[in-house]
A and B are shown apart, each in its own frame.
Chain A
Amino acid sequence: MSQTVTPRRTTRSSASALSSVPAAPKYRPKPSPRRQLLVTAAAGPKDYDSVGELLDALPCRRAQAMDLIRLLVPAPALPLMLYGGAATGKTRTLLLALTNLRPSQRLVYASLRSLPSPRALFASLLSQLGATSSSTFSRQRLPEKPSDFISALRNALTGIVSQGEVVYLVFDNLDVVRSWDKGDQLLTLLFRLHDLLQLPQVVLVYVSSATPDAYYSMTGSVEPNYVYFSDYTVDEARDILIRGHPNPKLYSSFLSVALKPLFRVTRRVDELSAVLEPLFNRYSEPLGDLKAVSDEGIKRRLFEHVQPHLAVALSETFSVPMRASMHEIKDSGSAGKGSAKRQLGGREGLSTELEFHMSMSAKYLLLSAFLSSRNPATLDAALFDSTGGSDNRKRKRKSSQASLDMKDTMAEEMLMKGPGTFPLERLLAIFQCITSVSEDKHEVECADNKEPESGMTDLMSDVLLQLSTLCNSNFLSKSRSCPLESSARYRSNIDEDLALKVARSVSFPLSKYMYRR
């Protein structure tokens, strides 16, 4: 299996590196009993046990681990690059290989994700090498320029290397750098370290979840040896997931139904385990005794029990996988058993009402923003007339039917483009129209309920305040512009669901005003 997924480039480059590693066989036989491992590991300084342990700790990463051992054990002349998708065990394999095989070596590890700037990277590397202790860093001694850093690094390294030690410099999460400001320069520097340092005892290891192609344009340095970490297959993923589970029997029967559909959505083991965990809890819910022997009938029943949740999880993993676990936590906190129905029914329940409080004028403003983002501006006159009256709206609409047809293509285009932008004036005009309409209705509804003031002016009064509230909560976004000219344009970010909820909460007939093709 591992032979098929290892790309040719890896094998070729490792083959070229193998010149210094004579005894290692290129491929292992597929069913690998420990005897043969012994042969493979003979090249290493460590004995049989530690390699076995290492491979045990790295499920389904046998090929990569072997590659690594071969490449690492006599200090390699070339830098090393581990690449492959996220959550494929790159860092784990590397660290285990390094710590298991050479416990005495110096390991300098820098995860570029936790070091958000080049300066932090330099400081961390130097402090790990003992050149400076991190607590006594002073401004003067901290290298600012790459050239200073290189010389400081070389000084620190030569001190160690001269004692006969091999130093491993590991740069993890290298792909993060690409999005940095001036990330190219740093990447070039890191890749050229091998040439710049000229120290054979220093082994550079890069770990990246982007393929080497992503870095080609920036280098021009010596090409490292590659080790590719392929994505796990279904079977491998199952093996990994089942590993160390307290109830492997039940879990494997659960995985046999749940893993395959989910695997179509994501192949990352971490995501899978996150989604599977609550699902498994649901799965084992009907069983009183988890150790109970499960026959086919029980399995079938359990499957029927979990199937609706599985369907939900499938669609949610794709968009926001956190949602499922959210319900899970909430439900398990409040009620134990009846939660299954509630979770499924609750989704519809949620969609009918607004979950948070907003003032009425903010709601109307949001609706008018939604309308002005959705409807083409040319239709405003047809939908709202100057009095905002809803009574003659129909007539108006009919008369402009022809023009509606004419604008169809344009409107369609607008829909394709997503929500449009609009100036403040248009927003306010629509706001005034829809508030006056709904106020009229409100007045009719409760005629004898003495309101102290007609509501329209009320709603209009602090509309800019409400606008800023909406912008703050990300419902509207505003383009930057000169405040005096007031030519800022807005765009509404809400989806139709939310708009409908808001409309329902103020009983505003939103769908009447929405232009649809």
Chain B
Amino acid sequence: MAAAAPSSEAPLTAATNIEPFFVLHKGDALSTSASSLPPHLARWRIDVSRLTSSPNHKSRKRSRNEAVEEDSSGGAELYERLRLEAFHRAWSKIQSTINEVLRGISLKLFDQVLEWVHESFSAVRSIARPTTAEVQQPYPLLTDVICRKIPTAFVLTKNAEFVDDITTFRDLAGHLESNGCHLAKLSAADFSAKHGVGSCFRSLLRQLLSYVPDVAHIFALASWYSLKENYDQPIVVIIDDLEQCCGDVLGELVMMLSEWVIKIPIFFVMGIATTLDAPGKLLSSEALQRLEPCKLTLGSPSDRMNALVEAILVKPCAGFCISHEVAVFLRNYFFKHDGTITSLISALKLACSKHFSIEPLSFLCMGMLEEDCENFWRNEFDALPQVMQKYSSGLPSCTREMGSSNSGNNMVKGLSELMKVQKDWSSVLLCLYEAGRHGKVQLLDIFCEALNPYLHTQKMPNSATFLSKVTTENLQIGKSGTSRRFIDQAMDAIRYLPAETLFHLLEVWSIHLKGMNEISVKVKELQSTTISVDSVRITKDKWPRRSTGSAGNCTVPLNDKVAMLLDDATRNFLVPVECLPFHEIICFKNVGILQSALIGNPRRMVQLDLLKSHRHLKCSCCRKNGIAVSASMHDTSIMCNLAQEYGDVINLHDWYLSFDGIINSTHSKVKRKPHASPLKKKSKPMAAESEAMIQARFCRAVTELQITGLLRMPSKRRPDLVQRIAFGP
């Protein structure tokens, strides 16, 4: 049954391990679902194993020659393999870039933490430097310190969602440990009210000591710490999710350790997902008093997001990019739903794998990474079978642009052109972002706008001068909302920049625009004028009375010039990838697939599948009578269809009667077409369903509906009514 699904869809779903949830399979249908998806899938999986062993270039060439001799299906297999290989290469490139970027961001924090640890350690040691014998004494050291406090770093992770920070704290632990701290990591599970402070302290000991005594008490820690090899390092305890800890237990631990902090320098690093109020709400004031807090912040998720977008999507990193729609979807998903880097990365991975599995020519992406890309593409194109060559010239983007002569040259040229334009696009986009940064514009927003093909085609005819454009733009914003909000915001930001930052901005631009001669020359010109303006201003500052007027006059046109330059560059070079020929090869556009994979909306899907079961099953019996409910359908499906006729409560008795009616009407039909559906095969031995059997099936169907979350069982107050939970078709 499932094999009847459109063949192009099957490998996609299989490729990403996101398998559709079939409620409707019963009996033999289940057994086929395992074996029927697979002609593609099986091959796919085998390919994976083969490829990982020998993906080298020569064997590929040879196998291709063999493949040409084979029939077209063999060729398809070969290209599937090439695409898979391309995916692996592209994704590993992206993955390593991601890791690098994230590590770069968190390293800043790590170094801060380490610095803080060293500072606190020397502060504690400056109070007193107990001998090892003193450390082992059971009673506290008598010092002149009035209040014993545990240095505590609160690391604000700035994200209510915690997933991203698990790895951050793991890396932090590794970083501190490699820099000579004793390290223990406690999580919320250790701070359970049930087991109390004892178990939490025990797990602390277990991470530090090689031998944990039967009764965990602090003297074990003290005697361990007074060993020579342990003595000169601080102990850092990382608690990564403070909010989820049990406050009482944590408070007790704090009180307990604070008594010993001078003897055993033990510091806390606590991760806070929300606000600094969290420890205040969690801990008693007495325990709070024992903490000597210090605030450290991790880069906010949108900062990290910007860095990632810059590294992966703006700078051409793996020869893979996304279309405007996909970008907007990802952005909305990030802001509306998940807001974690983890989900962004998984969405990207999904997009990437989908792209390489859907787009037949996607393996050409690899050319972007090759040194001699034109040569690579030419070779690849010549090796393409006829069908695919035809396909390449039939891509919608290139039929739009050019004629059909010499498609091979066309493609190679088109792709190199694409690559070049893409590069310019990313440099200009980065310039825009540099400018927009001063106006608090996020890269992601600019990125989405820069990808928008409609905006590009819209603004092309508009060749008015900058000033008039600004005014018309202002009018437009009033009328039609936000067509080019963020890019304009970035340009606006330039006009209010002071001279120093403007100069700095130009410097950064000249780095970004290195490959683009025309603009970088203009930037150089502007830079030289800024310098002169600067020097003028400096000299004029000596006579402040005269300079006030003229200096103001000087800077305004300069700002405008810079803005004009950027606007120029934007108009000429900020060409969205979707406006270019052959962009389909490198650009993932299918937002629908991504959406259904990420935003599952499972309950709705279950309900839809139940209502339109024949669409999936494609059986002969149900299709004939179309919309009407027939007895050959699955029980649960029948029930679900029947439930549509009720409001938010369903009378069980009525429901049962109508179910009974439908089932019994079958048996007249059974004689007419005996082997139509698996259901009937099963029920064949029974001439007519017994009352008990129908009741049992009814109950089972109701339970299934309950489990899938479509209805709620009757309450005690109204035992004969069930409540519907899911509505709408």
Contact = CB atoms under 8 A, between A and B. Distances in A.
A322 B160 contact: no
Contact of B196 (A115, A116, A172, A461): A116
B328 A451 contact: yes
Contacts of B454: 450
Contacts of B654: none
B375 interface: no
A358 interface: yes
A356 B156 CA distance: 8
A356 B335 CA distance: 13
A445 interface: yes
Interface in A42-74: 57
A357 B300 contact: yes
Interface stretch (A29-37, A269-277, A288-296): A269-277
Interface stretch (A91-99, A183-191, A223-231, A403-411): A91-99
Interface in A363-394: none
Contacts of B275: 355-356, 498
A244 B160 contact: no
A95 B216 CA distance: 25
A356 B160 contact: yes
Interface stretch (A13-21, A122-130, A159-167, A508-516): A122-130
Given A113-B256, A320-B288, A452 B595 contact: yes
B260 interface: yes
B690 interface: no
A448 B294 CA distance: 47
A212 B68 CA distance: 96
B240 to A, nearest CB: 12
B714 to A, nearest CB: 12
Nearest to A495: B277
B162 A321 contact: no
A325 B9 CA distance: 60
Interface string A89-107: 0011001100000000001
A451 B332 contact: yes
A114 B292 CA distance: 20
Contact of B293 (A107, A115, A325): A325
Given A137-B213, A355-B156, A362-B160, A95 B481 contact: no
A193 B197 CA distance: 26
Contacts of A355: 156, 158, 274-275
Contact of A96 (B142, B158, B282): B142
Contacts of B300: 356-357
A164 B637 CA distance: 91
B535 interface: no
Contacts of A119: 215
Nearest to A241: B146
A240 interface: yes
A1 interface: no
B379 to A, nearest CB: 38
A138 B214 CA distance: 8
Interface stretch (A246-254, A297-305, A469-477): A469-477
Contact of A114 (B215, B218, B335): B218
Given A120-B217, A445-B481, A453 B273 contact: no
By CB atoms of chain B within 10 A, which of A135, A320, A453 has the most?
A320
B288 A329 contact: no
A360 B159 contact: no
Interface stretch (B86-94, B336-344, B422-430): B336-344
A114 B256 contact: yes
Interface in A472-512: 472-475, 486, 493, 498
Given A135-B213, A360-B335, A458-B332, A116 B197 contact: yes
Contacts of A486: 712
Given A274-B147, A356-B274, A472 B256 contact: no
A192 B600 CA distance: 66
A488 to B, nearest CB: 14
A26 interface: no
A435 B89 CA distance: 42
A444 B218 CA distance: 64
A399 interface: no
B149 interface: yes
Nearest to A493: B281
A123 B289 contact: no
Interface string A322-356: 11011001100000000000000000000000011
A462 B285 contact: no
A273 B215 contact: no
A386 B475 CA distance: 38
Contact of B279 (A138, A240, A322): A322
Contacts of A117: 198, 215
A361 B198 contact: no
A457 interface: yes
B243 A474 contact: yes
A128 B217 CA distance: 13
A111 B278 contact: no
A263 interface: no
Given A91-B140, A120-B198, A137-B213, A473 B336 contact: no
Interface string B626-662: 0000000000000000000000000000000000000
A217 interface: no
Given A472-B243, A498-B275, A321 B595 contact: no
B268 to A, nearest CB: 13
24 contacts: A86-B286, A111-B139, A114-B260, A116-B196, A116-B198, A128-B138, A137-B214, A181-B196, A273-B147, A320-B285, A322-B291, A323-B280, A325-B292, A326-B294, A355-B156, A355-B274, A356-B156, A356-B157, A359-B338, A359-B339, A447-B480, A452-B329, A455-B332, A455-B336
- A-B residue pairs, 10 tightest by C-beta: A270-B147, A109-B139, A320-B280, A359-B339, A360-B336, A120-B217, A358-B160, A356-B158, A357-B301, A461-B601
Given A356-B274, A458-B337, 16 more contacts: A108-B138, A109-B137, A117-B215, A124-B217, A134-B219, A135-B223, A142-B215, A244-B144, A273-B147, A326-B154, A448-B481, A452-B595, A455-B332, A460-B601, A473-B162, A474-B244
